[in-house]
Amino acid sequence: MIRDITNMREGNFIKQNIDRWESYQEPTDDPDEVAKRFTYLVDDLSYAKTFYPFSNTVRYINAFAAGIYLSIYKNRKEKSNRFVIFWKQELPMVMYHNRRTLLFSFLFFLTFVLIGIFSAANDQTFIRAILGNEYVDMTEHNIANGDPFGVYKSGNPFIMFIRIAYNNISVSFLCFTTGLLLSTGTIYELFTNGLMVGAFEYMFVQHHLGFQSVLVIFTHGTLELSAIVIAGCAGIGLGNSLLFPGTYTRLQSLMRAAKDGVKIITGLIPVFITAAVFEGFVTRHTGMPVVLNLFILIASLSFILWYFVWYPYRVNKKISNADHV
């Protein structure tokens, strides 16, 4: 009885996919199409190995995937094409598949920022507890001297750029890897960073410098904080792969999530470096025209929303339409 049910399920699996598999027998010179076929076949193979490990279906798909794999490495083009494909298709598709996780990461972070603001507004000691007495004293001294954002003018800009870039990349990597703690580590990182942002902003709000602080700080902070949220998406995805493996084994699910997470973190490196350039070389000019501040802020936010949210939908739609042609 159980074997009959398994065979029936395997028959349905073959019936649902056989037309697509047979269509892959048609040769193509399009590297994007070849990569797409190989990705789908690997997914099919993982599923078949999970539910029908000793069947001919596994051997059939494996042979098919192996043939495409060999063709990729036999006919692969210059490395520059691989670089372009990563940014044009691979990373956007990873973001599309993790779009709900990205939303949750954003909502977590936003909630923690609001908690930081609320706590600072209702407890005068909270800001010092979060940011430290030394930093708060220095900022209040700068405010009293009419230079509230003087901290960004101190030090060599290049050294500041290196230090900030290293710190930002380290934070994103930590946010990702602590997802192995069933997502709790990543959520804690979002929690601590969110509280700091909330307390930091309220420190200027209570000195009637809220709007000015947004203009100055979010010149670099828009990219920086957005990247932390996206890194949080990678970390939560890593934790979810262990909690909710779906049709895969936990190891298979973890490996898939880790691969996606590495792609996301790799994609964030230019974002963090750009944010560090802004903070090291641009934010220090606190007296720049408001229009210029707003331009950088809006351009940064527009890029994040376009590349990490809207563009993945476009890429997925393009691939889906190609599948139905």
pLDDT per residue rounded down to tens, the chain (325 residues): 334 434 447 788 888 888 888 888 787 777 777 777 777 787 887 787 777 777 778 777 777 777 766 666 555 554 458 788 999 999 999 999 999 999 999 999 999 999 999 999 999 899 999 999 999 999 999 999 988 988 888 778 899 999 999 998 899 999 999 999 999 999 999 999 999 999 999 999 999 999 999 999 999 999 999 999 999 999 999 999 999 998 888 999 999 999 999 999 999 999 999 999 999 999 888 888 999 999 999 999 999 999 999 999 999 988 877 654 4
170 and 145 belong to one structural domain: yes
71 and 114 belong to one structural domain: no
Are the CB atoms for 195 and 112 separated by under 8 Å? yes
Angle between helices 184-205 and 210-243 (to 10 degrees): 170
Q: Report how far residue 260's alpha carbon sits from residue 268's, in angstroms, rounded to the nearest whole number.
A: 13
- Looking at 77, 109, 140, which one is the last position of a domain? 77
158 and 236 belong to one structural domain: yes
Q: Report how far residue 241's alpha carbon sits from residue 3's, in angstroms, rounded to the nearest whole number.
A: 29
- Looking at 28, 51, 77, which one is the last position of a domain? 77
Euclidean distance between the first and final Cα of the chain, in Å? 40
51 and 104 belong to one structural domain: no
The answer to whether residue 82 is domain-embedded is: no
Residue in 237, 221, 223, 193 with CA at minimum distance from that of residue 96? 237
Number of domains in the chain: 2
**What are the two backbone dihedrals, phi and then psi, of residue 286, each rounded to the nearest 5 degrees?**
-70, -15
Q: Report how far residue 34's alpha carbon sits from residue 102's, in angstroms, rounded to the nearest whole number.
A: 28
247 and 170 belong to one structural domain: yes
228 and 119 belong to one structural domain: yes
105 and 38 belong to one structural domain: no
The answer to whether residue 83 is domain-embedded is: no
DSSP conformation class of 155: S
44 and 99 belong to one structural domain: no
167 and 255 belong to one structural domain: yes
Q: Report how far residue 255's alpha carbon sits from residue 266's, in angstroms, rounded to the nearest whole number.
A: 16
Residue 141 CA from chain centroid, whole number: 37
Per-residue CA distances from 234 to 84, 94, 119, 285 (Å): 22, 10, 28, 34
Q: Report how far residue 3's alpha carbon sits from residue 194's, in angstroms, rounded to the nearest whole number.
A: 53
The answer to whether residue 88 is domain-embedded is: no
Return all residues near 178 (Cβ < 8 A) that are at least 6 apart. 184, 185, 186, 188, 189, 235
Q: Report how far residue 214's alpha carbon sits from residue 300's, in angstroms, rounded to the nearest whole number.
A: 14
The answer to whether residue 165 is domain-embedded is: yes
At 187 the pLDDT is 97
Q: Report how far residue 231's alpha carbon sits from residue 182's, in angstroms, rounded to the nearest whole number.
A: 15
- Looking at 46, 77, 108, which one is the last position of a domain? 77
Q: Please calculate the CA angle 249-252-253 and round it to the nearest 5 degrees.
A: 85
Residue in 75, 117, 72 with CA at minimum distance from that of residue 210? 117
The answer to whether residue 228 is domain-embedded is: yes
Amino acid at 238: L
190 and 109 belong to one structural domain: yes
Read off the tokens for 175.
């946010």
The answer to whether residue 85 is domain-embedded is: no
Q: Report how far residue 172's alpha carbon sits from residue 167's, in angstroms, rounded to the nearest whole number.
A: 9
Residue 40 CB-half CA count within 13 A = 15
193 and 292 belong to one structural domain: yes
Range of the domain at 172: 93-323
111 and 164 belong to one structural domain: yes
The answer to whether residue 212 is domain-embedded is: yes
The tokens 């972070």 sit on which residue? Answer: 109
The tokens 């074997």 sit on which residue? Answer: 3
Read off the tokens for 294.
């707003």
The answer to whether residue 87 is domain-embedded is: no
